[in-house]
Amino acid sequence: MHGRPRKAPKPEDEAASSAKAQKLRALQTQFFTFHHNKIYTKEAVELSAKLLEINPESYTAWNYRKLAVEHYLNLPDCNPDSIKSVLDDELRVVENALRQNFKSYGAWHHRKWVLSKGHSSIDNELRLLDKFQKADSRNFHAWNYRRYVAESMKRSEQDELKYAEDMIYTNFSNYSAWHNRSVLLSALFEKKAGGFLLKEKVLPEEYEFIHQAIFTDPDDQSGWFYHLWLLDQTVTTDSPLLASSWPGHGSDVLLVGDRCYNGSAFSPFSALHSDSGSFPIVLYFNQPVGGVNSSTVTVECGFNKNEDLFWKPLSASNSQTARVWVAHLKVPSSDLHSTVEVSVGHSKGIISTRGFVYSHPSMFSFKVHVQPMERDSSQVSVAENISLREENFKVYGTQSEESIIDSFDQLIIKNGHETTASNWRFEALAKEIECFRELLSLVDCKIGKLTLARLLKAYDAMSYPFANKLVHSEEVLELYSDLMKLDPTHYQFYKDEHSIVLLQKYKDSASSAICDPICLRLNNLSLSRMGAFEKLLWVQMLDLSHNELQSIEGLEAMQLLSCLSLRNNKLRSLTTLEPLRKLKSLRILDISYNQIGDQSIDTTRYVCSSPLSHSVGSELNRDETVTSDVALINNWEAFFIFKDFNLNQLDIVGNTIADEKFKSVLVKIMPKLKQLDGKLLD
Amino acid sequence: MDDIPPYPPIDPTTFDLIVIGTGLPESIIAAAASTASKSVLHLDPNPFYGSHFSSLPLADLPSFLSSHSTSPSPPRSPSSDDPNEFSLLEFATRPLYSSIDISTFSPNLLDQHSRKFNLDVAGPRVLFCADKSIELLLRTGTNQYMEFKSVDATFVGDNKGNLWSVPDSRAAIFKDKSLGLVEKNKLMRFFKLVQGHLAGEQDVKISEEDLQSPFVDFLNKMGLPPKIKSFILYAIAMADYDQEDTGVCRDLLKTKDGIDQLALYNASIGRFQNASGAFLYPIYGQGELSQAFCRRAAVKGCLYVLRMPVTALLVDKDTGCYKGVRLASGQDIFSQKLILDPTFKVTLPLGSSPPLPLKEKLPFFSLKDDKGKIARGICITKTSLKPDISNFLVVYPPRSLFPEQVTSIRLLQIASNLAVCLPGMFVLYISALCNDDDQGKKLIHAVMNTLLTVPLDSESNAAVQSETAEIGSAVQDETSESSSGGPSDSGEEKPTLLWSALYSQELTLGQVDFICSTPMPDGKLNYNDLIDTTFKIFQEIYPEEEFFPETSLENPEVDGDASPET
């Protein structure tokens, strides 16, 4: 079935297929007549069977048969025998259709539907499946259906596992069989069935098993897919963990009043300006979770009631699960020195998208100092005060950044009990690293290199809290650089991965790029992607200029950002800016010299955020004033992005889209804007 | 012997070709000549088809072997009425088998069911699913007279009685438990290299220099570990002699030939959907093959007479040219061409010098036997050598059983589902090339001793015991250090021997002349070389005729029948 070259049709084949088409057309016309007139006579039903046996792809015919079955089952003289014979007929038609094309979705679906009626024996189904799976062992339709049948029959996972294993032994180049194995093992992990109680016992055996496939034929991809699943099982802890937070444990937060920025005077603290009388608490989990609310997360402080806190997920897809959650704590305008305690997960309710419960309650606390407004300072022009000019980095570069980083690590170690309890994960990864180093010494293999890079990264990430150093980052960077050369087709992917490792390494080495606890300079690193946000929650001013960023996904986690430069990157569309909509503190944005507007059709929209999220569209209808403005309608993407911004200052020059007309639209969308492309606005 | 019917007269008395003996080469030639519209008379002195390629009932095998072990004078020709026209050259039979050693440990059980056995005289033998014999069967439609089953696996044996499965395919390498990951990778890459080379991929072409070098050197160059080298050389390429000892190796495999062998093996695996392994075995035994070609010939008009000995050659007095043969019945039958099976040799009358033309031709009559001998053994057991698997091949590479073992020993276990023995029993065929009978016995006994329990209640047993003990002790000495930890062969019960036949067979090549002789079964596992020789003989006698032309295919749908029944 696979790996056989397609042959050009011979003239006689073409003649046969046109004859078939003619026959089919006649049948179809007649069929539609029956269907539209709701005729379910024996003759009509038989005609649809004939049609389906020639063309199993005819969805309408399957639906017609479903209607016909319903019709018969609702007849007054219907008895168990007649039901059975009607349904048996359906099974026979499906089987014949599958013989014609065993990859017909409609046919398999119809079979499921018939069986779900509960009148047919399921025992025959396995026999049928054996036949189809023998004919094409990789046919995923059959494997899908098999899972359905096995579940209906209550066939044990162990039996099915044995079947999948036999299929793998026949030919291990079988994605479907490996996939089924991962599904069955997942089910067994969840059940904690006898012998499968512990991942730590099963996974090493699975690694051993998949090595046989990978070493035998490293060019075969199916094994690598399974290995990737195993790696995921090894690295991902079942229950979600809190990876980091802002404010960090034991930190001091200094809040200064509206538009007053007087950081240097309070240099021991992370000063935060707040014009809304509140500051965010950010929780960063190691995997997307849902159920974060005031009952699962308790914030104890003297000036705010826990119940008033509203936790919001920060994700691009507007779903109710996210890795990052934020709540805004209101502060009184008077002098205040108070301790805030945040407890996460002491009462159950936080659940990962995989369905695992957050089971490691953790607590962190920090101090809040509120400084009332100083009116004098507020007179100074914003544009002069806050910008990403070199001197700002120097001005705020008074405090050593070590203390901040330490506080995050403390938090991680507090949460690390699962890591310490599961040495097997380390051992498994170490073994895998050794194994794939050996493979790469034998053969030059792209996917082997990628896997080794992934393993090393995972190992470093897992050991980070203990080693406090990314031991393998050089090796990983080298592997990705190598892959960029070897496999130009996937250059961008490797580049992105390379960027993230590079970022981690930079922060890890605490290089001079970090000038201040609130400012981070990451320019000229040829980054194509941002990452490691969990360690960057504290950043208020971020310089990402002169990189190769095409996307800023994940940036929404950096809730404190007030000043961001994306100058000279490769952002290609307005929708790539969507993460910025969630940054309520952002006042100054530089997106000059990008490629926004180069792409006539904004495909990123469908890549970055879920095409199913309609919330954007629904806002349009509510805002009648906007829909009447032609200029805004024509620039509706700009409208949706920029209308949520609270920008004072924007630089957009050097993008295709940024003509004078567009700029005038921007001014209209953002009435608060004070400065555009360096020019003060009225 | 009195109930042998009187020899029937044969009519007509003149043919294009007379073939004597119904071994596989003779049968193929008879079928090919009949297909080419020649009139053919096919005779066999035996009451069964197959001659030295036959499968015989248990009781008949010893008598067949011993009848060919001495040179009994063939029946004298009854006095001829008309001796003037021709010279008579008497036939003599050549001793083809020696050191025949039959041991019965379960006489009651076996005697009653002798006919339930179909024991191959020329075992162990299999057909590769993609080899020349299968091609010939399919091309001629002869497959319709036969049914096959798959031989399930190949193992390599060691001196501790272990059988290691041969990782002969991608799936087998994946599944193998004995190879390390690096070994698996190296072996699969080697297979891919060979496949790429065979597919003509430019970047993986094996150089001409490498192709002409010894295969073993090429395997070394590819960095293959000894274990894998041994698998490839002896269990896949089926090399006969120790390839790493040029002193004893009579048949050093070139890379080119080694690659061809791998290609054959590779093409054989998975060729037929219901055959899991690379090999096929005919139901009712290998003798079926000769018989099927005889049926093919008969369909094309070939005349068959069994139980018809031939006594003498009729030669033209003046020219010395072959004219015909005299049958045991006294009847003279004439033909232009004659094919003889290797049993016969022509004796010249004492004192008389042969006619001049014949004298020149005479050197061709003496069959060369410079290829040494082959030791064969047939054992019957009640338990399989390996549980859960009944039909399989085992190869003992050179030096795997004892240091002086210079040739591969091959063993084929065939179960009753192939209708070769009583239900629940197994027939083991063992063979090894050797220089003389003693060496051959030692090789066969070494395998038997490693795998089987030989009971002590037979008169011929003593010899076996003493010999195996000798080899066994040598083996023990060699392995005592390594095997101290594990009870490798004593832990599992070895199958008990019920019956065995050991014999040495002469290796004679086919001869080509105005009278041609066919070869004896060779030391190979399949029939490829024999079919090549047969084809050459046919070409020699009928240079103008095509060897089974494509048009001779009667039933174009036979391909479907080719797949073995399982």
Are the beta carbons of B131 and B527 closer than 8 angstroms?
yes
A649 pLDDT higher than 50: yes
- What pLDDT was estimated at residue B73? 55
- What pLDDT was estimated at residue A459? 87
Question: Is residue A104 exposed (0-12), middle (13-18) or buried (19+ Cβ within 10 Å)?
Answer: buried
Closest CA of chain A from B414, distance in Å? 24
- What pLDDT was estimated at residue B188? 92
Q: Does A448 touch chain B (CB under 8 A)?
A: no
B351 pLDDT higher than 50: no
CA-to-CA dists, residue B102 to A410, A599, B59, B435, angstroms:
85, 89, 11, 21
In A260-321, DSSP assigns E strands to: 270-273, 278-290, 297-300, 312-314
To 10 degrees, the CA torsion angle through A561, A563, A566, A568? -160
Place of tokens 């000043």: A563
Is B182's CB within 8 Å of A442's CB? yes
Identity of the residue in B171, B175, B184 whose CB atom sits nearest the CB atom of A215: B184
Q: Does B173 touch chain A (CB under 8 A)?
A: yes
Task: Among A332-346, A514-528, B327-341, name the most confident range.
Answer: B327-341
B353 pLDDT higher than 60: no
B444 pLDDT higher than 70: yes
Helix A175-191 to helix A221-235 angle, to the nearest 10 degrees? 20
Q: Does B171 touch chain A (CB under 8 A)?
A: yes
A265 pLDDT higher than 50: no
A377 pLDDT higher than 70: no
Are the beta carbons of A80 and A120 closer than 8 angstroms?
no
A511 pLDDT higher than 70: no
Q: How confident is the model at residue A381 (pLDDT cuts 50, 70, 90)?
A: very low
> Which ranges of A136-273 does DSSP label H, i.e. alpha helix?
140-153, 157-170, 175-191, 199-216, 221-235
To 10 degrees, the CA torsion angle through B48, B49, B51, B53? -130
> Which ranges of B273-341 does DSSP label H, i.e. alpha helix?
287-299
For domain B17-94+283-366+509-541, give the CATH number.
Answer: 3.50.50.60
Q: Per residue, what are the HEC states of A492-532?
A: HHHHHHHHHHHHHHHHHCCCCCECCCCEEECCCCCCCCCCC
Q: Does B184 touch chain A (CB under 8 A)?
A: yes
- What pLDDT was estimated at residue B474? 43
Nearest to B154 by CA among B401, B444, B378, B386: B386
Instruction: Give me the domains of chain A, ranges plus CATH numbers.
Output: 20-235 (1.25.40.120), 239-259+271-372 (2.60.40.1220), 419-506 (no CATH), 513-614+625-681 (3.80.10.10)
B180 pLDDT higher than 80: yes
pLDDT of A583-641, one tens digit each? 888 889 999 999 988 766 555 444 444 333 444 444 444 444 544 566 666 677 778 78
Identity of the residue in A213, A439, A443 whose CB atom sits nearest the CB atom of B174: A213
Is A217's CB within 8 Å of B170's CB? yes
- Give B184's contacts in chain A (Cβ within 8 Å): 212, 215-216
Per-residue tokens: A297: 């997360």
pLDDT of B228-240, one tens digit each? 999 999 999 999 9
- Give B186's contacts in chain A (Cβ within 8 Å): 442
Place of tokens 């589902």: B417
Is A212's CB within 8 Å of B184's CB? yes
Is B181's CB within 8 Å of A213's CB? no
Q: How confident is the model at residue B320 (pLDDT cuts 50, 70, 90)?
A: confident
pTM of the model: 0.76
Closest CA of chain B from A143, distance in Å? 21
Instruction: Tell me: cis bond preceding A247? Omega within 30 of 0 counts.
Output: yes
Assembly ipTM = 0.73
pLDDT of A281-296, one tens digit each? 899 888 889 888 888 8
Nearest CA in chain B to A174: B171
Nearest CA in chain A to B276: A170
- What pLDDT was estimated at residue A467? 53
Are the beta carbons of A414 and A249 closer than 8 angstroms?
yes
A512 pLDDT higher than 70: no
Task: Please tell me the distance from the alpha carbon of residue A91 to that of residue A93, in angstroms, as a whole number.
Answer: 5
First and final CA of chain B: distance in angstroms?
41
Nearest to A90 by CA among A57, A71, A115: A115
A314, β-bridge pairs: A324
Are the beta carbons of B24 and B285 closer than 8 angstroms?
no
- What pLDDT was estimated at residue A362? 84
Nearest to B297 by CA among B46, B558, B27, B15: B27
Closest CA of chain A from B181, distance in Å? 6
B462 pLDDT higher than 70: no
State the average pLDDT for chain B: 82
Range B483-488 average pLDDT: 36
Provide, rounded to the nearest whole percent, the portion of chain A with pLDDT above 90.
15
Q: Does A442 touch chain B (CB under 8 A)?
A: yes
Looking at chain A, how many residues does it have? 682
Q: Does B175 touch chain A (CB under 8 A)?
A: yes
Task: Please tell me the distance from the alpha carbon of residue A132 to that of residue A421, in angstroms, as a whole number.
Answer: 45
Q: How confident is the model at residue B487 (pLDDT cuts 50, 70, 90)?
A: very low
pLDDT of B358-389, one tens digit each? 444 444 433 444 568 999 999 999 999 998 89
Q: 1.20.120.1200, 3.40.720.10, 1.10.405.10, 1.20.1250.20: which CATH number matches B169-268? A: 1.10.405.10
Are the beta carbons of A310 and A329 closer than 8 angstroms?
no
Q: Which of A217-221, A248-252, B143-147, B282-286 has the lowest mean pLDDT?
A: A248-252
Q: Does B350 touch chain A (CB under 8 A)?
A: no
- What pLDDT was estimated at residue B484? 35
- Give B182's contacts in chain A (Cβ within 8 Å): 215, 438, 442
Q: Which of A99-103, A385-389, B501-505 has the lowest mean pLDDT?
A: A385-389
- What pLDDT was estimated at residue A399? 34
Question: Is residue B504 exposed (0-12), middle (13-18) or buried (19+ Cβ within 10 Å)?
Answer: buried
Q: Strands B322-327, B163-165: parallel, antiparallel or unpaired by DSSP?
A: unpaired
Is A212's CB within 8 Å of B186's CB? no
Task: Please tell me the distance from the alpha carbon of residue A24 to that of residue A149, in angstroms, as a whole number.
Answer: 32
- What pLDDT was estimated at residue B64? 92
| DSSP states along A600-647 | SS-THHHHHS-TT--HHHHHHHH-HHHHT-HHHHHTHHHHHHHTT---
Range A568-597 average pLDDT: 89
pLDDT of B292-302, one tens digit each? 999 999 999 99
For testing contact with chain A, the best of B168, B178, B179, B181 (most A CBs within 10 A) = B181
Q: Where are the domains of chain B?
A: 17-94+283-366+509-541, 169-268
Range B514-542 average pLDDT: 88
Is B185's CB within 8 Å of A215's CB? yes
- What pLDDT was estimated at residue A210? 93
- Kindly state the helix (H) or strand (E) to which residue B514 belongs, with its residue range: none
Q: Does A216 touch chain B (CB under 8 A)?
A: yes
State the average pLDDT for chain A: 78
Q: Does B70 touch chain A (CB under 8 A)?
A: no
Range A379-392 average pLDDT: 42
B337 pLDDT higher than 60: yes
Left if phi > 0, otherwise alpha if psi is -120 to 50, otherwise beta: which for A284? beta
Q: Does A213 touch chain B (CB under 8 A)?
A: yes
Are the beta carbons of A111 and A94 closer than 8 angstroms?
yes
- What pLDDT was estimated at residue B482? 38
B303, β-bridge pairs: B41
Task: Please tell me the distance from the alpha carbon of residue A336 to that of residue A114, in angstroms, as a whole number.
Answer: 69
Which residue has better confidence, B123 or A655? Answer: A655
- According to DSSP, residue B241 is labeled B
B137 pLDDT higher than 50: yes
Per-residue tokens: A349: 């309710």
Provide, rounded to the nearest whole percent, the portion of chain B with pLDDT above 90.
44
Is B171's CB within 8 Å of A170's CB? yes
- What pLDDT was estimated at residue A196? 56
